[in-house]
Amino acid sequence: MVNWVSLLPLLGAACGAAQATPNDNILAGVYIVEFEGEQSTEALYRELRTDNDLDIEPRMALNYKLFNGASFNVSGAIDKDEALARIASNSRVKNVWPVTRVSVPNDRLVSVGQSDISKVSRSSISRRDVSNATYDVHVMTQVDRLHAEGYTGKGIKIGIVDSGIDYLHPDLGGCFGPGCLVSYGYDLMGGGGIGQPRPDDDPIDTCFGHGTHVAGIVAAQQSYLGFLGVAPDVELGAFRALDCIGGSSDDLLIAAFNMAYEAGSDIISASVGMDGGWPDSAWSLAAQRIVDAGVSVVVATGNSGEIGIFSASNPAVGLGVTSVASVDAREFPFLLLAGTYAIEEQEEEEFGWIAGQPPFQNLTLPLFYVGSELVINGTVFDGCNGLPDSIPDLSDYVVLVEEQPQSCNFYDQTDSIVAKGARYALFFRESEEPEYINTYDPSILGVGRTTGSQGKSWAKDLIAGRNVTVTFTNPEITKQLVTLRNNTVSPGSVSFWSSWGPDWELGMNPFLAAPGSQILSTFPRALGSYAILEGTSMACPFVAGAMALVAQARGTRDPETLRAALTTTAKQIVYHDGEANDDQGRLAPVAQAGSGLIQAWDAAHVKSVISTAGISFRDTDNLPSEIKFTLKNLGDSEVTYELGNNPTMGVYAFAQGSKRITAFPPLKADGAEAKLEFSNDLITVGAGESVEVAVVCTPPSVDASRLPVYGGLITVNGTNGDTLALPYLGVAASMKNDTRFFHTADPLGVYLSQNGQRWPIPVEPDTIFRGPRPSSETAYPEPGTIAWPQARVVTNVGSKLVRLDVVAADNSTARCLPWQDWLGYRSLGQLPYFPLRDLTRGSFRGTLAGMLADHTILPNGRYRFVLSALKLLGEEENPEDWESVEMIPFIIEYTTAL
């Protein structure tokens, strides 16, 4: 539990783009290569050492059917681009990438259990046979109806790439290996860390919990807390690729995906990702190949919806991947410990509490109430200002303290009751979801909180003179209970933090949505046994489980069929801006919700199948003249389908004149609705036959300067009652006409600052920077804390390639240095670590410590930085497709001589 306290800030971190600095996300000195055909790793290492003069330490062998390569460390004084170039020059190498860090999306820990289920007495937790129709997230998605028909995922294998699974948890089968629920898997991280994994064959999750939570959503056995997995009869594979704080690297994840594939998984579920939105990263490509080889890959789209549109992560955007958005549940659960109480001689009843520090141990004592109802001789004694003499010694009571947040804090109340000898205190406030408490008073031997309603009800009894006796047990061995509260704000709406597509190449993303907010599931026994988490991480395994049910019912494992069946039968969702539904009842944009909330029964039984799960009409420069898909009728009689267009709400990425993408909620774009023309509005398809449909899109004519993103659903209504909805989206503007990568209008969008400052501020033009001349030409100088000139840049859209060139200022003698033309500037070269590739929204910086990327040491002089970014969907070779900005001049004066 200590672990979780320290994890809370991590998991609760505000949503937002991570800093894309030149090297923060890159594991320094670690590279991943893909081989050209069959190759020997040993031979490659030998050649890299001898022919390419690289000091290699092997890291991981990646010899898989769909990815044959290796990752290794390069040590010594060599910069990234030089190492990349030398590795790429080896003829055995087909592709090389620097290894990057990855983490689970910033899911929120809502509530975590406080006991170890393996220590709770068996008799107290008999498995309740909860009627299938009571687990509401299964009802919302028709999963209960498939269970009732006997579809539970039998025969389907789901590989979970995450932090491992606590398979000893009784709700997760209690064992590992053939015949167990968790029947296969591997620990790629082992006892090591990201820098040096030490794999072993036991993928148990003891220290993080995310994978155990995900596994329970897929396949928990009927829990005594009233929940059940979506597909409780599947076989699970546990591929542990995250460390104890949720970190990983893309080489580990590529290996984990391929191991899950080779172990025979039918579906791979991965609630992991990194800010990006670029479908051609090494990891996205690895996912794409697995899909092409016939295995579904389901990935969480990310939790960055608060930054608005264009916030999807990698590898959710990989081609063929089923990327999943989150929908808010209609009921929110909360976890408490179960105590018992008796009023006078009545029968014992259960109540909920949360253990504080120090927790209660085994204890049975009467309650004594202190709070707003305790009135003695006309004066209220709530413990804020001491207690009168008439109050007895409190050492043999549990003092029930009603908190008074308006007048004092619980420390004052603790002082008052401790003065009366109190040793045990049970606090309560208005809230039905009590929080952990620590009074830091050594006299207190046991403390906790109960719910507002329970506390008030006891207060009434006690004031009326009835005796109430409460019994606690040591939290570790205590059974838990769950309370439910209705979501009155956003039941069934898209979660406001769910990331939005499309990706930076305008690929369709996300495809569909599933419940992801406030989901109760299993957690490692040692970390509390159960937890309530929220994030697209929870929606992703829900879809993987539903896909298993659909695969079982339809008798197919084909990824595109399964993805299309779930997507085209999903239920459309009305747009919700975080406070209320859209007043005109418009549907949530496809870029936010895909086609909507999955309906598993419909997906399993629909007789009409579309060959694709979604269409991107891209931007106006790349608008396809027509898009074709096939419509298949699997029924046994002819069906006539009527095609229609049901637009979803359009949004503008930018406000009028603004350079920043609008944060959630986005700006509604009235009239941003495309016109669609079909080859035929009425299509008749014979039994067992299929027909090709062509669709031509006319994007809306709305203000292109604000980058309108439109979308909608192609409705396909059959005379057999089938109603399908195929999602599409597009941008009614030219992406490469947009020049908003650099926020030049904002004083803190692009500015010159200095290295080594925690809170950087802009410097004046012609600031003189003094530091030592680089002493060696072989390695880049470490800027350390020296105040070298530093460009600081906030980015608001993505860019595939970003350069940071140095040019001589007009009157500088440095004008005599050799230069090369770059967009009309005389470039002396780029900064070390540049160019940067595949940038997304965030920020980066570049520091000049005297040396350029090619190891040239600049002389004393007056310089400027020139930043340039390839525009979205632009071509690298075309100067018109670059956006650039020239920064203010600065002066370098070395403090050491040559």
Ligand X SMILES: *[C@@H]1O[C@H](CO)[C@@H](O)[C@H](O)[C@H]1NC(C)=O
Residues known to be catalytic: 162, 210, 537
Under the binding rule (CB under 6 A), the answer on residue 202 touching ligand X is no
Q: Smallest gap, in angstroms, from Cβ of residue 195 to ligand X?
A: 2
Distance CA 595, CA 724 (A): 10
User: Cβ neighbours of residue 41 under 8 Å, at least 6 residues apart?
Assistant: 58, 61, 63, 70
Under the binding rule (CB under 6 A), the answer on residue 222 touching ligand X is no
Q: Smallest gap, in angstroms, from Cβ of residue 217 to ligand X?
A: 17
Sign of the C-alpha dihedral computed for residues 777, 779, 783 and 789 taken in this order: positive
Between 51 and 766, CB nearer to ligand X: 766
Distance CA 586, CA 479 (A): 45
Q: Are 630 and 609 in contact (CB under 8 A)?
A: no
User: Cβ neighbours of residue 770 under 8 Å, at least 6 residues apart?
Assistant: 787, 893, 894, 895
Residues 118-137 as x/- pattern, contact with ligand X by CB under 6 A: -------------xx-----
Q: Using alpha carbons only, what angle is made at residue 792 by residues 789 and 795, rounded to the nearest 5 degrees?
A: 160
The residue written with tokens 């320094």 in the block is 28
Q: Are 480 and 529 in contact (CB under 8 A)?
A: yes
Stretch that binds ligand X, among 23-31, 158-166, 285-293, 425-433 (CB under 6 A): 23-31
Q: Are 645 and 730 in contact (CB under 8 A)?
A: no
Sign of the C-alpha dihedral computed for residues 30, 36, 37 and 38 taken in this order: negative
Distance CA 508, CA 502 (A): 5
Residue in 358, 366, 624, 756 binding ligand X, rule: CB under 6 A: 366
Residue in 147, 213, 240, 871 binding ligand X, rule: CB under 6 A: 147
Helix (H, G, I), strand (E, B) or coil at 296: strand
Q: Which helix (H) or strand (E) holds 340?
A: strand 331-343
Between 380 and 704, CB nearer to ligand X: 704
Residue 318, amino acid: G
| 267-270 and 157-162 beta bridge pairing | parallel
Residues 805-824 as x/- pattern, contact with ligand X by CB under 6 A: ------x-------------
Stretch that binds ligand X, among 22-30, 38-46, 267-275, 512-520 (CB under 6 A): 22-30
Q: Smallest gap, in angstroms, from Cβ of residue 559 to ligand X?
A: 26
Q: Smallest gap, in angstroms, from Cβ of residue 196 to ligand X?
A: 5
Site for ligand X in 858-877 (CB under 6 A): 862
Under the binding rule (CB under 6 A), the answer on residue 390 touching ligand X is yes
Q: Smallest gap, in angstroms, from Cβ of residue 289 to ligand X?
A: 27
Residue nearest to ligand X (CB): 195
What would you measure as the largest C-alpha separation in the chain, in angstroms? 98
At 706, give phi and psi (nearest 5°).
-100, 10
Q: Smallest gap, in angstroms, from Cβ of residue 137 to ligand X?
A: 15
Between 388 and 688, CB nearer to ligand X: 388
Q: Smallest gap, in angstroms, from Cβ of residue 411 to ligand X?
A: 26
> What is the DSSP-derived secondary structure letter of residue 190?
B
Number of Cβ within a 10 Å radius of residue 327: 32
Q: How many CA atoms lie within 13 A of 825 on its CB side?
A: 27
Residue in 642, 746, 881, 886 binding ligand X, rule: CB under 6 A: 642
Under the binding rule (CB under 6 A), the answer on residue 467 touching ligand X is yes
Distance CA 850, CA 856 (A): 8
Residue 393 tokens, joined = 């010694």
Residue in 269, 454, 473, 529 binding ligand X, rule: CB under 6 A: 473
The residue written with tokens 């003179």 in the block is 465
Residue in 717, 744, 767, 843 binding ligand X, rule: CB under 6 A: 717
Residue in 22, 29, 153, 798 binding ligand X, rule: CB under 6 A: 29
Residue 257, amino acid: F
Stretch that binds ligand X, among 142-150, 519-527, 662-670, 753-761 (CB under 6 A): 142-150
Angle between helices 536-554 and 210-219 (to 10 degrees): 30
Site for ligand X in 542-581 (CB under 6 A): none
Residues 30-59 as x/- pattern, contact with ligand X by CB under 6 A: x--------------------------x--
Residue 545 tokens, joined = 């489980």
Between 247 and 644, CB nearer to ligand X: 644
Under the binding rule (CB under 6 A), the answer on residue 490 touching ligand X is no
Helix (H, G, I), strand (E, B) or coil at 870: strand
Stretch that binds ligand X, among 163-171, 321-329, 658-666, 733-741 (CB under 6 A): 733-741
Residue in 152, 223, 265, 595 binding ligand X, rule: CB under 6 A: 152
Under the binding rule (CB under 6 A), the answer on residue 768 touching ligand X is no
Between 484 and 801, CB nearer to ligand X: 484
CA Rg value for the chain: 30
Residues 615-634 as x/- pattern, contact with ligand X by CB under 6 A: -----x--------------
Strands (E), 732-798: 750-754, 767-771, 789-795
Count of residues touching ligand X (by CB under 6 A):
41
Q: Smallest gap, in angstroms, from Cβ of residue 320 to ligand X?
A: 28
Q: Are 313 and 283 in contact (CB under 8 A)?
A: no
Stretch that binds ligand X, among 144-152, 404-412, 651-659, 660-668 (CB under 6 A): 144-152
Q: Which helix (H) or strand (E) holds 838?
A: strand 836-839
Residue 18 tokens, joined = 């991570």
Q: Are 820 and 860 in contact (CB under 8 A)?
A: no
Binding site for ligand X (CB under 6 A): 27-30, 57, 73, 75, 131-132, 147-148, 150, 152, 195-196, 344, 362, 366, 376-377, 388, 390, 467, 473-474, 485-486, 620, 642, 644, 704-705, 715, 717, 723, 733-734, 737, 766, 811, 862
